[in-house]
Structure 1
Amino acid sequence: MNSILLALAFVASVFDLQAFLDTALQNGKTTIIVPPGRYCVVPHHGTHLTFRNLTNITVIADNVEMICTETRRAVAFDHCRNVTLRGLTIDYDPLPFTEARITALAPDKRWVEFEILDGYPEHQLVERVEIYNPATGELRRPDAGWVDKFEPLGNRRYRIAKHPGYRFRADHDLEQVGDILVTNHSYPNNAGGHAITSERCTNLRLVDITLYASPCFGFLEHQCHGTTYLRCKVDRRPPADDLVKRVFPRMRSLNADAFHSTGATKGPSLIRCTAKFQGDDCVNIHGTYHFVTACNSNRLRLVVQHRMTIETGDPVEFLPFTGPRPPDAVVLKIERDDTPMTEAELAFFRKVNLNPHVKELLLTGKVNFYTVTLDRAVSLPLGSQISAANRIGNGFLVEGCDFGYNRSRGILIKAGHGKILGNNITHGWMAGILVSPEYWWNESGTSSDLVIRANTIRGCHKTAIEVVAPGGDGKPLPCGAHHNIAITDNVITDSPSPNIRVTSTDGLVIRNNRVAPNSIVTEQCELR
């Protein structure tokens, strides 16, 4: 490892990419051309390359490759307007994941032993285990729950166990000796971040960007407006072009979602992009929910984790814990309320099915409380959720993209007034296209005026197209949670029945879809 880092430091000292860009900006350049080449970059304050408070700037980085020398954020855009970055390729050395071959299994597969392959790092292993079939290069099995600790056995060998409540399932626990195990890797210890982030940017354009690795998400935007991703690519690096000689090719591209948008006032446009072999969803577009602990006519008491995302004057939408979704309202006033949750409220949230981190924040008091006054009365039970309806990514476009070979969803949408057109989604392990709020993650919202047209979904392991709206109790909300959804001219092959599943929607159109399901039936078809 030391020899690798010394080599990178030498190359980085020849060309300081951040200094080159900063100098050009200080000299008043509005179009900056980066000389082609492979540049190893050392991060500053946790980020390898930063663009901050820029307007009307174009950076052309055709045939430029940036090698990140720590498993931290690659590129940050902060409060930029009308900025374009074109052509950049990003990779990491050491990688933010490692690969190993399974050498032994417990008789009931409750633990696995593995040996890290030559060419892959082992500085700090972090649990995000996936198991691949070495013959096909695809996932061998669906997700499994693993403990956080890797037990070192010496000579690059480790053991990891599944959760204490594990029970063998023949249809899930398909791993074999000789399979390839992939998990996250940090350098230095506990270093992490996303590859490319954008914070409160307007009309950002990312064109022909290639990501071969990331410690977490590939592209993450927060509270942006009208970002365009044109021909951006997330994929495994080909062995012939790899930075390091490895005895087995990379099985993973990056560690989590490829494209992730949260809180956008105008949703992103993804056009002819690629996302394959990453550790989570290809696309996720959403806003943020806050919990309702009390409802008194037009006054709601909210419990907020992290930061408040609703402002005075915002339209808001609701996800009831159970029952019909009320029509949207407008916020007239927001006031802090430091009264803690009652014991009855705490007891309620102890029983609710939530992401463990979300639940921990609620129950340990690491939250803030607000009283929100609306322009009209609503009726919401305890545990319902509320979101700013204008910060969920409405107006998005996903068109002509190539997605798949991942453990989770192809396209996950919690926004409206958008289009999903002409995409290819192949061999995903969950829904190919899922339109649904997620109470579990506090991710809003519901969808209106949505077009899902001319997509091709092949070999999906679960229902190919789903439009659903479960309440906090997990049961489908009544008709009217979603509005005006059109699912037309899609082609679905070799995926389980039902190929299309819809609940909780009025104004539904399903027309001219061609389906050829396989023989697996996972659940009852629902149109509600």
Structure 2
Amino acid sequence: MKGFKIKLLKLLSLFVLWSQTLLAQEFNLSNYLKKGEKDATLSVFTMLQDAAKHKNSKVIIEKGTYHFYPEKAYEQYCFVTNHDNSMRRIAFNIKNFDGLTIEANDAKFIFHGVMMPFNIENSKNIDISGFTIDWHLPLHGEGIIEATDTANKTFDLRLADNMPYTIRNEQLIFIKEGFEHDLNHAILFDPKRKAVAYQTNKYTPLKMINQVEIRNKEKFDFYNYIDFRIPEYESQNQEYSIKAKEIAHGLVRISGSELPPPPVGMVLVCKGQFGKDRIANAFHINKSSQVKLHNLTIHYAGGMGILGERSEDITLEGINILANPSKNLMVSTTADAAHFAGCKGNIVINNCNFRHQLDDAVNIHGAYVIVEDILAPDKIGVRIGHFQQAGFQFADLGDTIGFIINEKLADVEFKATVKSCFQLNQHYYIITLNEAVTQKLGKGFIVENLDWYPEVSITNCQFADNRARGLLLKSPKKTIIKNNYFSNMMQALLISGGINNWWYESGGAQDLLIEGNTIGDCNYDGEKRPVISIGGKWENNGRMLGKIVINNNTFNNFNPSIIKATGVRQLEITNNSITNSKTFPALEPDAFVFDIKGVETLTTQNTKISNGFKNKLKTEAVKNTFSDIK
């Protein structure tokens, strides 16, 4: 009996210890915040430090409004692809976690100045939900066109009190908390539609800069390649041409634009110079796996909303990224809503609503790097193609990479496996291979990581009212786009397989289904584009896209150009309905609904096309056609 009691006591002790351990894994922010404390930044940092000591920790954030300021935030230098690299002040630094749940009860997070709310790095099994992200003051500028003078090419801009500003050297400067910008990258929004204005390209962007001569520039010694788009080079031979003068408090007259003055009542939106305008993304998911974000709202970010790079298995469920309606702002994020570069596994986006971005709703791609040097038979030096991809982890041990001739842009010439990838600096990497490649290499080669592409599922979402495109799709893995709504300033879907020598984004769709979507007005900025743009390369045995099926979709567009496709092996356009919305005057009334070129097998059947669109189908260099369009 005595022995039994001893055993029972031991079991009870173990149970108590086990229970305490379980309790220690749950952390409530209310236990870390001091009474009356407005700045939650340091308390969140301390709480996450404690949570990091345990596997599968859970953080509870009670309902309320929490402010975050940069002065007491964790700081680290961040390479954030397709952004401007910098020292980031981070509110939620989720680094080296093995299991973490953050559960908020309808909490509101308000950020001040230049901050990155969430950094998820070298972590796995992360589940985050239940809050709203917004900024106290936005990091872009907005103003209403109050009056115009066509003869003198001036317009008066009314600035609200949430837009601090100054006039400096005849320039309108928007002043933020620790940040400022000018009128660069301006675009018009229609406040009634809360979307980019029809034919904004007649009036914007404002021509801000004149080129000036650099004297004695022959003395420069640029021995290596220089990307002159980098801000410190780009601004060297520039001077401002736009002038600003304050007429009254909150009213500024703008002169010097070469374009006509914008219409009265439109909202002019701007975010400053390229290379200095993507500094405060909301989420950075880097070198992580099994990350789920759900039931969140992002009203604002000074960059992208959600960015994933070199990560696996990311799910976005019930995410709203849209401007805060209570603030009467036009913009949600100053770049893409969601962006995935060099990811693999599964990217799942379901039941999301992405609106009011100053760039694309979703972009999924890899990255090309450029062969700069042959250092040894098995060793090459490569450079990043775009300065805003600096520091991007292109490859690692065991990755299979493919070598492609840039100008030829055919399929991969040959492959190799990576032994190591050493980042000498953020622009130049040394890659050691398991195979000798020097005999195969020549001038003009670029390199693609063939392993890091995801399968993609995007369903039941809304992508609308943003500056650029709906979806950019470059993954060669199985991709499903189903039951979504689109209405975008540019194309609803851009499916390219070529090399964009600006961004050097890699990939090309090989197995893509676009089904059951409703697509409203697109391409209303004034440029002539199709609603769906598909661009492989078919000349000279170029790199073609694979199988693309566009089935059972409803198009209601003011312009007849619906699908333009080149360089596809198998293209099926079936069971679609196409009507004329008549929302705006057609930009190209004689365009063909389907303009197909360089396709091996084309099927266009059972598609109803509005009588208002007179030219239905145009084909060139199509080997096999199965069509009932007359």
Q: Give TM-score scaled by structure 2 length.
A: 0.66
CA distance in 2, matches of 1:228, 1:411: 16
Q: Which residue of 2 aligns with 1:179?
A: 266
Give, in angstroms, the shift of residue 205 of structure 1. 0.5
Q: Which residue of 1 aligns with 2:45?
A: 18
From 468, 481, 485, the equivalent of 2:535 is 468
CA distance in 1, matches of 2:575, 2:405: 33
From 21, 36, 57, the equivalent of 1:30 is 57
From 186, 192, 195, the equivalent of 1:135 is 192
1:231 partner letter:
G
Contact 2:409/2:543 (8 A) holds in 1 = yes
Q: Which residue of 1 aligns with 2:357?
A: 278
| Matched ranges for 1:78-97 at <5 A | 78-97=121-140
Q: Which residue of 1 aligns with 2:212?
A: none
From 448, 452, 457, the equivalent of 1:397 is 457
Q: Per the alignment, in what secondary structure is the counterpart of residue 130 of structure 2?
A: strand
From 427, 443, 449, the equivalent of 2:487 is 427
Q: Which residue of 2 aligns with 1:500?
A: 563
Contact 1:469/1:477 (8 A) holds in 2 = no
Contact 2:373/2:382 (8 A) holds in 1 = no
Structure 1: state its 5+ residue gaps: 1-8, 243-248, 339-360
CA distance in 2, matches of 1:106, 1:304: 48
Question: Once structures 1 and 2 are overlaid, which stretch shifts more, 378-387 or 136-145?
Answer: 378-387
Structure with larger RCO (C-alpha < 8 A, sep 6+)? 1
CA distance in 1, matches of 2:441, 2:567: 17
Give, in angstroms, the shift of residue 233 of structure 1. 0.9
1:258 partner letter:
A
Q: Kindly tell me: are residues 106 and 284 of structure 1, through their superposed partners in 2, closer, same or farther at Cα, counting changes over 3 Å?
A: farther
CA distance in 2, matches of 1:405, 1:282: 10
From 99, 105, 113, the equivalent of 1:62 is 105
Contact 1:73/1:194 (8 A) holds in 2 = yes
Q: Kindly tell me: are residues 48 and 217 of structure 1, through their superposed partners in 2, closer, same or farther at Cα, counting changes over 3 Å?
A: same
CA distance in 2, matches of 1:162, 1:380: 50
Contact 1:146/1:160 (8 A) holds in 2 = no
- Cα deviation, 1:348-373, whole Å, max 9, x if unaligned, reads xxxxxxxxxxxxx9xxx964576868
CA distance in 2, matches of 1:480, 1:428: 28
Q: Kindly tell me: are residues 48 and 14 of structure 1, through their superposed partners in 2, closer, same or farther at Cα, counting changes over 3 Å?
A: closer
Q: Which residue of 2 aligns with 1:77?
A: 120
Q: Per the alignment, in what secondary structure is the counterpart of residue 19 of structure 1?
A: helix
Give, in angstroms, the shift of residue 181 of structure 1. 1.4
Give, in angstroms, the shift of residue 456 of structure 1. 1.4
CA distance in 1, matches of 2:365, 2:334: 20
| Matched ranges for 1:128-527 at <5 A | 128-140=185-197, 141-142=200-201, 144=205, 146-147=207-208, 151-154=243-246, 155-158=249-252, 168=259, 175-184=262-271, 192-239=279-326, 242=327, 249-292=328-371, 303-305=382-384, 306-307=390-391, 309-311=394-396, 313-317=398-402, 320-323=405-408, 325-327=410-412, 329-332=414-417, 367=428, 382-391=443-452, 393-437=453-497, 438-461=500-523, 462-469=529-536, 478=541, 480-517=543-580, 519-521=586-588, 525-527=595-597
Q: Kindly tell me: are residues 337 and 499 of structure 1, through their superposed partners in 2, closer, same or farther at Cα, counting changes over 3 Å?
A: same
Give, in angstroms, the shift of residue 336 of structure 1. 9.3
Question: Once structures 1 and 2 are overlaid, which stretch shifts more, 202-211 or 432-441?
Answer: 432-441
Give, in angstroms, the shift of residue 115 of structure 1. 2.8
Give, in angstroms, the shift of residue 94 of structure 1. 1.7
CA distance in 1, matches of 2:496, 2:449: 16
Q: Which residue of 2 aligns with 1:354?
A: none
Give, in angstroms, the shift of residue 89 of structure 1. 0.8
Give, in angstroms, the shift of residue 261 of structure 1. 0.6
CA distance in 2, matches of 1:230, 1:51: 20
Give, in angstroms, the shift of residue 254 of structure 1. 1.5
Q: Kindly tell me: are residues 283 and 332 of structure 1, through their superposed partners in 2, closer, same or farther at Cα, counting changes over 3 Å?
A: closer
CA distance in 1, matches of 2:296, 2:351: 12
Q: Per the alignment, in what secondary structure is the counterpart of residue 46 of structure 2?
A: helix
CA distance in 1, matches of 2:440, 2:588: 38
Structure 2: state its 5+ residue gaps: 1-35, 76-88, 166-174, 210-239, 385-389, 524-528, 599-630
- Cα deviation, 1:41-76, whole Å, max 9, x if unaligned, reads 123121122111111221111211111112321111
Give, in angstroms, the shift of residue 374 of structure 1. 6.2
Q: Per the alignment, in what secondary structure is the counterpart of residue 313 of structure 2?
A: coil
CA distance in 2, matches of 1:289, 1:109: 47
Q: Confirm or deny that 1:119 pairs with 2:179.
A: no
CA distance in 2, matches of 1:191, 1:282: 16
Q: Per the alignment, in what secondary structure is the counterpart of residue 578 of structure 2?
A: strand
CA distance in 1, matches of 2:280, 2:353: 21
Q: Kindly tell me: are residues 503 and 276 of structure 1, through their superposed partners in 2, closer, same or farther at Cα, counting changes over 3 Å?
A: same
Q: Which residue of 2 aligns with 1:50?
A: 93
Using the aligned pairs only, state the percent identity.
Answer: 20
CA distance in 1, matches of 2:556, 2:278: 41
Q: Kindly tell me: are residues 311 and 10 of structure 1, through their superposed partners in 2, closer, same or farther at Cα, counting changes over 3 Å?
A: closer
Q: Kindly tell me: are residues 515 and 216 of structure 1, through their superposed partners in 2, closer, same or farther at Cα, counting changes over 3 Å?
A: same
Q: Kindly tell me: are residues 92 and 468 of structure 1, through their superposed partners in 2, closer, same or farther at Cα, counting changes over 3 Å?
A: same
The structure with the largest alpha-carbon Rg is 2
CA distance in 2, matches of 1:476, 1:250: 46
Q: Kindly tell me: are residues 93 and 480 of structure 1, through their superposed partners in 2, closer, same or farther at Cα, counting changes over 3 Å?
A: same
CA distance in 2, matches of 1:129, 1:432: 22
Give, in angstroms, the shift of residue 431 of structure 1. 0.9
- Cα deviation, 1:275-317, whole Å, max 9, x if unaligned, reads 001110000011111124689xx98966412356134643334
1:526 partner letter:
I
CA distance in 2, matches of 1:334, 1:51: 29
CA distance in 2, matches of 1:311, 1:300: 14
CA distance in 2, matches of 1:366, 1:80: 25
Q: Kindly tell me: are residues 86 and 337 of structure 1, through their superposed partners in 2, closer, same or farther at Cα, counting changes over 3 Å?
A: closer
- Cα deviation, 1:487-525, whole Å, max 9, x if unaligned, reads 222221115333112211113322222222565438661
Q: Give TM-score scaled by structure 1 length.
A: 0.78
Give, in angstroms, the shift of residue 203 of structure 1. 0.5
1:55 partner letter:
D
Contact 1:490/1:514 (8 A) holds in 2 = yes
Contact 1:464/1:495 (8 A) holds in 2 = no
Q: Kindly tell me: are residues 483 and 315 of structure 1, through their superposed partners in 2, closer, same or farther at Cα, counting changes over 3 Å?
A: farther
Contact 1:499/1:517 (8 A) holds in 2 = no
Q: Per the alignment, in what secondary structure is the counterpart of residue 38 of structure 2?
A: helix
Q: Which residue of 2 aligns with 1:349?
A: none
CA distance in 2, matches of 1:381, 1:505: 28
Contact 2:144/2:265 (8 A) holds in 1 = yes
Contact 2:470/2:487 (8 A) holds in 1 = no
Name the structure with the higher strand share: 2
- Count of paired positions: 472
Q: Per the alignment, in what secondary structure is the counterpart of residue 203 of structure 1?
A: strand
